[in-house]
Amino acid sequence: MDIQALSQKSSELRLHILNAALKAGKGHVPPAFSWVEIGVALFYGGHLSFRPSEPKWEGRDRFILSKGHGCLTLYAILADLGFIPKEALDSFCQPGNVLAGHPDTNIPGVEVISGSLGHGLGVSAGLALGAKLNSQSWNVVTVMGDGECQEGSVWEAAMFASHHRLDNLVAVIDRNQLGATSFTEKNLTLEPLENRWEAFGWDVVSIDGHSFEELNRVFSSIGHRTSTKPLLVLAETVKGKGVSFMESSVDWHHRLPKGDEVKDALRQLTEPNIHSGLVESMEMVHDA
């Protein structure tokens, strides 16, 4: 996809994410919105190898969503690509639906259970080492939250990955500056985050996590890197990206919009003349 198509896909996915959460009456929308462009670049930009009709294809790249509470973005992508039926997204978190509040391996396209934060990088490092030991050419990409980088298990995994020269491992930090209830730097200082990862033996690239030009540039190196170090992509993002009253707010980690907030959010997420039909149908469903 070209940049315009990737941008349009991001807009579409944000609408589906919000719709799924509103129908379920639950879901972490702002943490999902912050990594939409990251997910779109990876899955639609030609940077990951996968087969929707064959989710367990041995040659696939392994994608791990460590920040499992942001799962609605992953679910929307999997539904759009055909890993799971699109109607499954409409009954997110409903009885009998495979799409729960955090990723589960019963969902095609999901590699590991995630939701308990701080584990994704360790699992990813283990997978990457296993690939090397078995002379496999696939890569491992994990998306982490910046808040979980305050956990010791992350830094143990960082040392492990560097020690074993896991150049087939790419970690992306969704650096939106917010945890569940406060700004990360108020909870436990992470900065200088780039220097810390470099000190742990990683190559580090800092980018705008909403810029497809920058995302495509760094992700194009997956599978073609000459360095023997694992790669850390520090992606500066905005929590709640796309809806002004959610953006960079400590109040919206768990909250869902109501009443006129729903209409305002839908209008903000809609590009002129592209999603008008979808928005009108969603407004009818969620009118309050």
Over residues 24-72, the pLDDT tens digits come to: 999 999 999 999 999 999 999 999 999 999 999 999 999 999 999 999 9
Would you say residue 276 has pLDDT above 90?
no
The burial class, CB within 10 Å (0-12 / 13-18 / 19+), for 206 is middle
Tokens encoding 201:
């033996």
What is the pLDDT, as a whole number, of residue 286?
52
Query: How far apart are the C-alpha atoms of 11 and 13, rounded to whole Å?
Result: 5
Q: What pTM does this model have?
A: 0.93
- Measured over the CA atoms of residue 133, residue 231, residue 240 and residue 18, the dihedral's sign is negative
Cβ proximity of 207 and 220 under 8 Å: no
Identify the pLDDT of residue 52: 97
The one-character DSSP state at 174 is E
Nearest Cα to 139, choosing from 177, 116, 97, 171?
Answer: 171
Residue 44's SS3 state is: helix
Give residue 248's domain range.
3-286
Look at residue 275 in the predicted model and tell me its pLDDT.
46
pLDDT at 109: 97
pLDDT recorded at residue 283? 52
When divided into structural domains, the chain yields a total of 1
User: pLDDT tens digits, residue range 140-164?
Assistant: 999 999 999 999 999 999 999 999 9
Q: What is the pLDDT of residue 274?
A: 47
CA dist 271 and 98 (Å) reads 31
Contact 144, 120 (CB under 8 A): yes
Q: Taking 90 as the threshold, does the pLDDT of residue 284 lie above it? A: no
3-state secondary structure 83-148: CCCHHHHHCCCCCCCCCCCCCCCCCCCCCCCCCCCCCHHHHHHHHHHHHHHCCCCCCEEEEEECHH
Distance (Å, rounded) from C-alpha 207 to C-alpha 284? 39
Q: What is the mean pLDDT of the chain?
A: 93
| Domain at 95, CATH number | 3.40.50.970
Separation of alpha carbons 125 and 182, rounded Å: 29
- The string of pLDDT tens digits covering residues 120-141 is 999 999 999 999 999 999 999 9
